Structure formats: structure tokens, C-alpha cells
Structure 1
Amino acid sequence: MKISADLKAFQARLGHEFKNAELLTRATTHSSLSSATRPDNQRLEFLGDRVLGLTMSEALFQADKSAAEGQLAPRFNALVRKETCADVARQINLGDVLKLGRSEMLSGGRRKEALLADAMEAIIAAVYLDAGFETARDMVLRLWGERIEGVEDDARDPKSALQEWAQARKQNPPRYETVERTGPDHAPVFTIKVVLESGESEQAKAASKRNAEQSAAKALLNKLEAENG
């Protein structure tokens, strides 16, 4: 099966040349374009999620042999969550080669976090089926790269940590306000401000309210830590 020039270039970015090109085509086909003769990537997504999970479980288990389950679990969650998968997908420009239906294309599907994350999991499964677990694992470890080494910081949920900070000082929970929403409907940008009862505040922008809230909370935590040593 011949593949397009775009998919050939994507293989180079991915670092894997498929023996079975049909797997790559399927992994990049969204359900909005699927048909009886063109299967989508949902089944591959299911498998890829498990391959990713095993890869990260093994990597974390081997990296810190003294870590308890309670330490490993948040690190694992940080590495396999949708936001991280979507970030890796953007790193290799996966959105550029996705096959989408017209309505999904018009609504900015190539930039949607959930869609990119699902497609990234499908790609992992496709590599696994094409070349086996070791090849898929090596690819995941290479693409996730420094995220694995720095996972301790990412595993810390900023919103939860900020709430704990406020509770320890007998303050009410932090308040999150939507300052601004810009951009078209298919690609919005939210500016969120977080405010503590004691008056400290910070704000951040992101493509979703959740991410903007997390970024604002992290910025405020960093500010508080700097001020309090």
C-alpha cells in the first residue's frame, strides 16, 4: 500500500517506517471520516492506551526502585493523561496528517486536545502491531523524553496543591474567574484568574478552562514559594 508524501514525512518525525502502511492510515483516520471500507482509529486508541500504560509503568518502576505506589501513581497519571499525549502529538505535528470529516475540519479538529491525544494513542498501537512491543516502547520513551525525567513536578496537581496551601492557612478555597475568552469557537483561548482570600492572585491563558486554571494555580504557587522562600 502506497502512502502520501505527508505520511512519509510523518514517519520520519515519528522515527518509525511502517512495514504495514495500512496501520498508519488507520491510526490517522478519525471517526468523522470512517466508513465500511475505511476503519477509524478508535480500536487502535484502546490498544495504544494500554501499551502506553505498560511502558510508563515499567519506566517509572525501574527509574525509582524505592518509590512507593503512592508516589508512582501520580507520576504515572501525569505521563499518560490526555494533555501529555496531545502535547507529544503536537511535537510531531500529528494533527497535520489526520484524516477528518468536513465538519470536524471546519471546527478545528486538527488542534483539539482530545482528538490529538486519542490519535497519539492510536499511533502507539499501530507501531506495536507493526513491529512489536519493544519498538513501540522505545518510540514512546524517545518521544516522551524529558517529560519522564521531570515527571515529579508535573505530577503535582497545581489546583490541589494551591487549595491545600490555602486550607493550611485557614483560608477559603481559591476562586477562579474567567477574565477573557478570545478566538473563534473552534479554537478558543481562555484567560483565567485565580484569587486567594488573602488577596494574592495570578492569571494564565490556555486553550481550555481546565488548563488555564491549572496554569494560573501553578503560577500563583511559584509566586508564593518565591515570596516565602
Structure 2
Amino acid sequence: MKISADVHAFCARLGYEFSDSELVTRALTHGSISSSTRPDNQRLEFLGDRVLGLVMAEALLADDKAAAEGVLAPRFNALVRKETCADVARQIDLGSVLRLGKSEMLSGGRRKEALLGDGMEAVIAAVYLDGGFEAARQTILRLWGKRIADVEVDARDPKTALQEYVQARGEAPPSYDVVQRDGPDHAPKFRVRVTIASGQSEEAVASAKRQAEQAAAKALLEILEDG
């Protein structure tokens, strides 16, 4: 199967040349455009998540030989979560070559965090199936780069950290509310407010609801810990 010039350029950005071009084509095919003759990337996404996890686990053990499991686990979660995968996908402009149905294209699917993250995992699986584990490992380590060494000592995501903080004080979990949504479907902006039982709250704005929730949680947690 011959790939387009755009996909060829994407492979150059990825840093990997496929022997089986059908694999990269499938990795870039979203369910919104799949058919019986054109499989989507969901099965590859499932596999890529596991390949990424093994590479990150090995890398973290090698990077900090003294860290206990309780320290490594949140770092691992920070490196493999969907937001990080989407960030790497944006780094190599994966969104520009995603194969999407018309409805997904009109709703800004090329910028959606979930689609980018899933696509990145599927591409990792495609590299693994095409070139083996070592090819996948080298690709992942190159793309994740300094993220591995720079991952925070306490890399819990802000929502989890905030929930643990308030529950340690005997309070109910925080609540999150979308207080405003602006912009067109392809480029939305969400304003989210997080509130805890004491009545304290913070707001944040982001292009994805989950990102806004995380940012609001981080802002409130900083206030609580400084107080």
C-alpha cells in the first residue's frame, strides 16, 4: 500500500520508516471512518498502551535506581496518561494525518485530546508490530525525551492530589462544574470551577474539559497547601 506525501512526512517526524505501510494507515484511522474493509485503530491503541507502559516502566527504573514503587507509580502515570500522549502527538503533528469521518472533522477532531492520545498509542503499536520491541522502545524514548528525566518527584495528577488532600481532612471529594463554554465546536473553551466542602473554589479555562478540571484543581491545591 502506497502512503500519501502527508503520511510520509509524518513518518519522518515520527522518526520511523514502515516496512508495512498498511500498519501506519490503520493506526491513523479513527472509528468514525472505519468499515469492514478499512479497520480502525482501536485494537492498535490497546496494544500501544501496553508497549508504552513497559518502555516507561523500564526507563523510570533505569533513571532512578533508588526510587520506591510508591514514588515510581505516579511518575509512570504522568508519562503514560492520555494528556501526555496527546502532547507528544501534537509535537509531531499527528492530528494533521488522522483519517476522520466528516462529523469528527467538523467538530475539531484533529485537535481533540482523546483522539490524539489514542492515535499516538496506535502509532506506537504499529511501530512495534512493524519493527519489534526495540524499534518501539527507541521511538518512544526519542519522542518522550526529557519528559522522563523531568517528571515531577510527586507526579500525581492535580485532581487526584486534591482529592487525597481533602479526604485526609475528612472532607467529601471535590465537585467540578462547567460554568461557561465558549467558542465553536472545533475550538471550544471550557471554564470549570472546582469546589470543596469548606466552600473554597477556583476556576480555570482550557480547550478540553478535563484539562480545565486539572488546572482548576492545581490552582486550588496550591492555595490550600500554601495556607
Give the TM-score of the pair, scaled to structure 2. Answer: 0.87
Aligned match of 2:79: 79
Does structure 1 conserve the Cα–Cα contact (< 8 Å) formed by 2:71 and 2:153? no
The change in CA–CA distance for 1:36 and 1:206 in structure 2 (over 3 A counts) is same
Distance in 1 (CA, whole Å) between partners of 2:91 and 2:164 is 33
Distance in 2 (CA, whole Å) between partners of 1:52 and 1:178 is 32
Decide which moves more: 138-147 or 198-207.
Answer: 198-207
Deviations for 1:136-191, whole angstroms, at most 9, x for unmatched residues? 11111111122212323572232333344445667775554433211224542111
Instruction: Quote the offset at 1:74 in angstroms.
Output: 1.7
Aligned match of 1:102: 102
Does structure 1 conserve the Cα–Cα contact (< 8 Å) formed by 2:77 and 2:156? no
Distance in 1 (CA, whole Å) between partners of 2:221 and 2:214 is 10
Deviations for 1:78-98, whole angstroms, at most 9, x for unmatched residues? 111111111111111111001
Aligned match of 2:119: 119
Instruction: Quote the offset at 1:204 in angstroms.
Output: 1.5
Decide which moves more: 68-77 or 183-192.
Answer: 183-192
Distance in 2 (CA, whole Å) between partners of 1:68 and 1:179 is 40
Matches within 5 A, 1:1-229: 1-152=1-152, 155-166=155-166, 174=174, 176-195=176-195, 201-223=201-223, 227=226
Instruction: Quote the offset at 1:209 in angstroms.
Output: 2.6
The change in CA–CA distance for 1:19 and 1:164 in structure 2 (over 3 A counts) is closer
Does structure 2 conserve the Cα–Cα contact (< 8 Å) formed by 1:190 and 1:212? yes
Does structure 2 conserve the Cα–Cα contact (< 8 Å) formed by 1:78 and 1:154? no
Identity rate, percent: 72
Give the TM-score of the pair, scaled to structure 1. Answer: 0.86
Give the RMSD, CA atoms, in angstroms. 2.4
Equivalent residue of 1:152, what SS?
A: coil
Deviations for 1:48-101, whole angstroms, at most 9, x for unmatched residues? 111111101111122222222222222211111111111111111111001112
Distance in 2 (CA, whole Å) between partners of 1:40 and 1:166 is 42
Does structure 1 conserve the Cα–Cα contact (< 8 Å) formed by 2:183 and 2:189? yes
Decide which moves more: 52-61 or 68-77.
Answer: 68-77
Distance in 1 (CA, whole Å) between partners of 2:45 and 2:173 is 37
Distance in 1 (CA, whole Å) between partners of 2:209 and 2:32 is 25
Whichever residue aligns with residue 49 of structure 2, its letter is D
The change in CA–CA distance for 1:164 and 1:154 in structure 2 (over 3 A counts) is closer
Does structure 1 conserve the Cα–Cα contact (< 8 Å) formed by 2:13 and 2:92? yes
Whichever residue aligns with residue 92 of structure 2, its letter is I
The change in CA–CA distance for 1:178 and 1:39 in structure 2 (over 3 A counts) is closer
Decide which moves more: 176-185 or 62-71.
Answer: 176-185
Equivalent residue of 2:40, what SS?
A: coil
The change in CA–CA distance for 1:66 and 1:214 in structure 2 (over 3 A counts) is same
Structure 1 unaligned segments of length 5 or more: list them.
Answer: none
Alignment length, in residue pairs? 227
Does structure 2 conserve the Cα–Cα contact (< 8 Å) formed by 1:30 and 1:41? yes
